[in-house]
Structure 1
């Protein structure tokens, strides 16, 4: 037997079999390595540089926490929201990499002294004495899972990108002629003649015959039918429900306040104007002109343009919103109305002027203590809700009913016969264990569920909710005898509406045929109201009804139109157009130019980022994005 096995071991078949066995054990031992060959685990690549999933996950988590804080805990992200936040976080990281690579390509650097000075100026890192606090800085790093070197690297990259974006934004300027045209459009006023034909003023129609009433009843079945009702059981869980049981210590509140001090108040804002020219000599000439009494911004614009540069209003900005740290230091060292000495940056020589100054303020801890407690409780409740939701989902998957799962896990629970408006058959509103703001969304989910389907603990605006549809009662036409009064009233109202519609259409036809409004209206016995002059914006004493403003401002002089309103038909004819008097609107023109320049600067920056992204080799891994969105 042994000799036979030895002879077999010497054959090619046996050798091949041994090789296969060895390979199978080898692959078994390095399964993970083999499985991942050829698969990229990064969430994106920009020009060959990887953005790892961990970085994207941290960015997504920070954004979700920021939204939760901003909404004071009234936020429970569903899968769609988490996916959108994850995609936005990845896209932000992509733009960050694209801009960082462009800054490196252009050789833009940020010295250590600049980074250090910028850190010392961040309000959130200051102590009660107004000086830089190492404890606050360290607390910030711990709360955001950052190392000091990692944070400084992020800050350095951000400052280099600011130099890029600052240069792009500095080119945003709005010609006075363009702003004047837009302001003239905004301030244009019009006068119009209006005739309103109220349905209630129509004559009483002939009483309907039985045949007419029956036909109207059948043709408008949706108006005279019972709604669909559903016999349901629902169980809910949300952070708001759990917050009462969450404890937040005083130490937690103090730490959160120290780490986010800049969120509890408003930073100082300054109205800043900038002139950017290529040489120091030209900058000194602009500064000298700007300091002369009575010099207006248009004169500075002209001087900067003649020197080969430009002048731009930067709007009302905080220190951190200034495009470059050097410019921020110069602008925030000036008094209101002051003009800076020339400041050199990689983009040229800048001269700044400060307009109005809005002082900053920071609320004391006692003023925001309850708000911080509520925010922290909401964050912790949201985490606990996710853990409990997993256990509830397991219970439902094991075959438990919604009622059993609610009892076992202390969920909000309700059983009801309900329509899509949330009412019972007797018309009373059915109470549901969901936040009031999420009631409409919960009702939509209830009426989207299938009868007999296994309940699942779904996440949505309501938090988590499981729906069990026990029975569906379809709509049914109510017999005419039971709704005769309602059908008769609806028939009469419809007849009155049709009567006024015909009169309005005849009046409009007469106006378009060239007849005067007063004459045509007199023939049908209705008064004419002349309104105006009025502007485009509704409210504020504007006499023209809101829904008629847009149609009126599309009409030529003597043009007419007809508009259906909730309780009437309106026929309106434009009588005259009053152009704006821009000579008395210098302040409004200046404000509009600044607003347009700010918008244009944002558009330029967005287009610049899009161009950089299009030029870069960007590849996003949707599978990893989905994993990030689904992780907790």
Structure 2
């Protein structure tokens, strides 16, 4: 069960990130010097070796992270495009430099610091306290020995001390804050002419050109990676009959959640509304108030309130005699919220004075009152028992799942294990990360993205979907592949046609822009070409433009324009069409925001300066370091 409990928390981003990074750091500094593969030399950093094994592990980590990031768009060609081999080596060199500099400056980490850090991680705790068994078992699940983890954690803490040392000299001036504030908050005003493709145009599609287009853009039609999974379902409904709820549990839940079963005071009231027109004059206001007073006088003389509501009220409740039903102070009709205290102060049968609300004048009468208070246990017992049964059944189902995980041998086919233990295992068809598993409910993709990072016969953590618990195992995998033309022919033809239409649209926009830059009038050209002109709200450098969305190149071009240079050098396109902009001006910056946001702005700027300082410091270390590449990684 302890391993199960730790598996429950192993999905925490904190612990997974920590273990991944620290495991990598451990390998870089402490691991595998005793293996024969240590003899493969990749580089020396100030005389300290980077072994082949260190490099291979770092490179594999980079590839895995990029694969997870790009998902369906990943292909092996991206290793070269993203320069992953070089980046892995640069990372290792950086780590060596950091460790060496920390030692030179005399920084160290004590055993007490390591212990305190480990004991503070929530994933290693049970009921808020550090649990040694959970700590060891969770590391075991991630294939790390405690001593290795602690050694690597020492290195991580050492680097944090280095950063604190560097950042101690970082300051932010008022001038820097103002510069960043203006950069982030300045707004530009433009107009833009929008050119849309003519979808009804007759476009000749040449078969040879289509196939050439396909070959050029073939990666766009890549068929994503697909997996087939075996999985076990643990349904709380299947164990409900095993659940017994005793009286002590019911009482404890009732007492601990008394607020849930405390009813507020409620009244049932009627009202008569006399609307006041928006922007009414003082005389109009008085005239409505006088009518309300006269109707109230009739009610006081004994004319039925409901009857008066039917005759005079301008509310939609008029047909019900002004009946508002029962309500509490929390559920009072919105328009009456401003007078709720007055309403609840009325006695049953009492008629209020005319009171003003945003809609007009109201006369109200309270007809019934329900006192608030804690409901008797017997009135809510059945609901509490249902809650406890559901909660307990869910815990039992999850415990069953976690217990099974403890017993499941590593990389054993789930189908074999299920057969040996008389369990009902289900098997899916092949699916990709976009389609998910429809049989699991209306949101089939939820919580399943991590399955694509698993290897064949590797088992997932326990996943909750729709109140049920699942254990998945990858049974088979189809690698992503580029399709043949016939598999995507219709899609390719549609895309090729759209590209031709967009090219033609862009040419029209470029002709329009050239005329403007040659001196033609914006208004005359827009009318001549019958082009729609939009005037979006002013926007910031990083803001979205209404009608276009966020296009950083578009924004950057807009901020380069001025009264003397109102038109850009080029048109801009997206999937909708082509755009030509014209500078209209700038919008004054609200300087009150500077004082209001100064603290947040200071934190943002200091973070930028910290990053720049750290990167500059690393660059300086590298310039003065003796780095010898023994085995170029590009050849590996």
Same fold per TM (> 0.5)? no
TM bucket, shorter chain: 0.3 to 0.5
* TM-score computed with the length of structure 1 as normaliser: 0.43
